[in-house]
Amino acid sequence: MGCGISVAIMENVKLEYIWLDGYQPEPNMRGKTTIITVEDALNVKLEDCSEWSFDGSSTQQAEGDTSDCILKPVSIYSDSARHNGYVVLCEVLDSEGNIHPSNTRSTWDDDEDMWIAFEQEFFLMKFGKPLGFPKKGEPAPQGPYYCSVGADIAQGREIIEEHLDICLDAGIGITGVNAEVAIGQWEFQCFAKGAKQACDDLWAARYFLCRTAEAHGLSIEFHPKPVKGDWNGSGMHANFSNSEIREAGDQEIIEAICEKFRPVHDEHIAVYGSHNNQRLTGKHETQSIDTFSYGVSDRGASIRIPLATVINGWKGYLEDRRPASNADPYKIGGRILETLRS
Q: Give the binding site for Mg ion (CB under 5 A).
A: 187
Smallest distance from Mg ion to CB 261, Å: 21
Could you give the C-alpha distances from 254 to 84, 251, 260, 340, in angstroms and in order?
47, 5, 10, 11
Select 187 or 221, whichever has its Cβ closest to Mg ion: 187
Residue 92 sits at φ, ψ, to 5 deg, of: -105, 130
User: What is the number of other CB atoms lying within 10 angstroms of the CB of residue 125?
Assistant: 19
Radius of gyration for the chain, computed over Cα atoms and rounded to the nearest angstrom: 22
Q: Which is nearer to Mg ion, 182 or 258 (CB)?
A: 182
Neighbours of 169 (CB within 10 A): 14
Neighbours of 1 (CB within 10 A): 2
Taking the complex as a whole, the smallest distance from the CB of residue 119 to Mg ion amounts, in Å, to: 5
Which sign does the torsion angle of CA 281, 286, 292, 298 carry?
positive
CB nearer Mg ion, residue 86 or residue 188? 188
Provide, rounded to whole angstroms, the least separation between the CB of residue 145 and Mg ion. Answer: 12
| Shortest distance in whole angstroms from residue 169 CB to Mg ion | 24
Q: Which helix (H) or strand (E) holds 3?
A: none
Q: Smaller CB distance to Mg ion: residue 125 or 182?
A: 182
Closest CB to Mg ion among 122 and 314?
122
> DSSP secondary structure string, 284-336?
TT--BTT---EEET-TTSSEEE-HHHHHTTS-S-EEE---BTTS-HHHHHHHH
Closest contact distance (angstroms) between CB of 210 and Mg ion is 19
CB of 112 to Mg ion, least distance (A): 27
Shorter beta-carbon distance to Mg ion: residue 16 or 187: 187
Q: Which residue is nearest to Mg ion (CB)?
A: 187
Question: How far is the CA of 291 from the CAs of 50, 264, 269, 270, 322, in angstroms?
Answer: 47, 11, 10, 14, 11
Beta carbon of residue 54, minimum distance to Mg ion (angstroms, whole number)? 35
Answer for the pair 65, 151: CB distance below 8 angstroms, yes or no.
no
Q: Decide whether 103 or 239 has the Cβ nearer to Mg ion.
A: 239
